[in-house]
Structure 1
Amino acid sequence: MSTPRKLRLGPLPKTESVKLTFIWPAALKADLDRYAAMHAETYGEAVDAATLIPHMLESFMAGDRGFKKEH
């Protein structure tokens, strides 16, 4: 039996969305796709990279001490 994975990004909450389009490097897209597959395997819910990005950015900004001081 394998040890359960613990990803920094936990299960995704349901949120209101706004569409944003941007260009990203192919290597980053491949990494995000792999992360999405691991996330789906870990939490049992299919998710794509585009769905993960806002949650990752939110987590990043919440952990940025410099940003928190200004916020």
Structure 2
Amino acid sequence: MPDLKLAKLPDRKPVKLAILITPDLHQRLQDYAALYADTYGQKEEITDLIPAVLASFLDSDRGFLRRRGASR
């Protein structure tokens, strides 16, 4: 097997989730999407922003990262 700098890409098949959220959270997500559009000049649907928001949250949660790293 060749030695490549780029490792094999992980599974990128999307997983569909259906969730219910409170009206307050829905409003906050709409407000965030509006601010995103104002900031970047590009409108994005809330459903397209949610995965990035969740990933950002998980990547910045030190307690989660510590525990996850210890269990790997």
By relative contact order (CA 8 Å, sep 6+), the higher-ranking structure is 1
- Cα deviations across residues 12-68 of structure 1 (Å, max 9, x unaligned)? xxx864321100001110111011011011101111211111111101111111211
TM-score (normalizing by structure 2): 0.68
Unaligned runs of 5+ in 2: 1-11
Map 1:5-44 onto structure 2 (within 5 A).
Answer: 17-44=14-41
Give the number of aligned pairs: 57
CA RMSD of aligned residues (A): 1.7
Normalising to structure 1: TM-score of the pair? 0.69
Name stretches of at least 5 consecutive residues in structure 1 with no aligned partner.
1-14
Larger % of helix: which? 2
Higher Cα Rg, which structure: 2
- Percent identity reads 39
Equivalent AA in structure 1 for residue 21 of structure 2: W
Q: Distance in 1 between matches of 2:37 and 2:21?
A: 22
Counterpart position of 1:5: none
Which of 41, 47, 50 does residue 47 from structure 2 map onto?
Answer: 50
Aligned amino acid, residue 22 of structure 2: P
